[in-house]
Amino acid sequence: MKIHHAQVTARYRSLVEWLSVEGRVDVVEAAARLGVAQETIRRDLRVLEQQGKVLRVHGGAVPVESAGPVPTVAALTPVPHSDSLLSKMVWDRLPRSGTILIGTGPLTLALALAIVGSPPKQAGLRIVTNSLDAAIVLSRASKLSVYNVGGTVSPTTRAQEGDWALSELGRFSVDVTVLKNTGISVEHGMTEDTPAAAAIAVAAVAAARHVIALADAKTLGSSAFVQFATLDQVDEIAVAGRVTSGAVQPFYDRGVSVVHSAPDMVAEGSAPILEDQFLTR
């Protein structure tokens, strides 16, 4: 029993030390480093959270001092692997200074989690969002300056919309806007389901020098109710999940860069899918 207790204590100490140095503990990586099962690490993190030493997030934990407010239920919903992989790719290519505007939706929330999982090491990056969930998640990263737009809150998406939000967005000038859309096609550009969501997206696009559209396999090539941007206003498209080069080809023909989280999925005889980097840091 004493040997077992010593092993548990040693694991706790290692996990806390890694959090202090690296800013995050990943369950899969920690299990491999310590030579134990992933469930053992999850159990350890639950105990450490009860002791007030860590805050658990999807896939691991972050230090309490950088955690900020308790996240919403939506923020803790498991993120699909394809969304998580794409969000890490996007974050790795985004700048670490200046201003980024992030919209609402599962993919932008996954991006917020990726940012918190690997936060900037120095101050200098501002993030603006009209997503309550994303703002709460992002507030855990101590080096970030996080701004919530304000406005009427949608009971469905918890996005801030309406005249107040539009007025605030109209004052902003940002380096990059990252938006999830309901549909994106060559013919109709970026589209949303409701006029209120589309109006916010119009302002978000107008505020930016560079626009990145987040999409999934179902979104790519489809159109929703209200257009908020033409394809010419989109600099890059980032797609979560498996897509064929045939689905990407129309965007490729229009000169739009596309990246996705399954780069092996290229149909034979089709043009290659672009994997250009978004921005230099």
Q: Provide the domain count of the chain.
A: 2
Query: For position 71, what pLDDT does the model report?
Result: 45
**Euclidean distance between CA atoms 97 and 120, whole angstroms:** 9
Strand-pairing partners, residue 101, are: 128, 177
pLDDT one digit per residue (tens) for the chain, 281 residues: 455 778 888 899 999 888 877 778 889 989 999 999 999 999 999 888 777 788 777 788 887 654 444 444 444 456 788 898 999 999 999 999 999 999 999 999 999 999 998 999 999 999 999 999 999 899 889 899 999 999 888 877 889 999 899 999 999 999 999 999 999 999 999 999 999 999 999 999 999 999 999 999 889 999 999 999 999 999 999 999 888 888 999 999 999 999 888 755 443 333 333 334 445 44
Question: Which residues face 236 on adjacent strands?
Answer: 212, 257
pTM of the shown model: 0.70
- With a CB cutoff of 8 Å and minimum separation 6, the contacts of 250 are 185, 186, 221
Distance CA(136)–CA(68), nearest Å, equals 8
Residues 31 and 93 in one domain: no
Range of the domain at 11: 2-66
In a domain, 265, yes or no: no
Q: Are residues 131 and 242 in the same domain?
A: yes
Contact 74, 158 (CB under 8 A): yes
Same domain, 92 and 205: yes
Q: What is the pLDDT of residue 108?
A: 94
Check whether residue 124 and residue 184 sit in a common domain: yes
